Amino acid sequence: FANDKYTSNVCVPNDDWSQDYWNKVWGWVAALNEVVANYGDDVRYNNQVQISRIWRAWIFSRTTDLFGDIPYSEACNNSGQAAKYDTQKEIYYDMIKELAEASEKLNPGGDNMGNADLIFGGDVARWKQFANSLRLRFAMRMTEADPAKAK
């Protein structure tokens, strides 16, 4: 079959797909940064903040896997300046730290997003499990670049 994406059953790359993802990522990151910045010190929203940190790490992992070095440490920080590009190695190091901290701070007896959490339905234990499985996944990706840190 043939359409705008395939010709003779051979996939033809479409740069629009990656460009669309690139454009959308920064809106997602900006929204998550806003949650963390505005509610990070408010214990009433602790779990929502930690879940935002975990989801932000997931988004950044997908983005750096697709594009390599990307804006990370200064991404969507409302400075009005172009964000510097961080290396993939630096990004993975920081994401592992972020996930460890967020997982540790999750509180099963704290705030619960309930049905507003479309991924785990407010189940904090599953978010903790997700954060820890991401840390393992990221460590596996680091084995080539830094085996000692990956351990």
151 residues of the chain, pLDDT tens digit each: 445 554 555 666 667 778 898 999 999 999 999 999 999 999 999 999 999 999 999 999 999 999 999 999 999 998 889 999 999 989 999 999 999 999 999 999 989 888 888 999 989 999 999 999 999 999 888 877 677 776 7
Reported pTM: 0.85
Biggest alpha carbon distance in the chain?
Answer: 57
Q: Residue 149, by phi and psi: left (phi above 0), alpha (psi -120 to 50) or beta?
A: alpha
Contact criterion met (CB below 8 Å) for 47 and 111 = yes
* Residue 120: per-residue pLDDT: 94
* Residue 13: per-residue pLDDT: 64
Can you tell me the distance from the alpha carbon of 36 to that of 87, in angstroms, rounded to the nearest whole number? 23
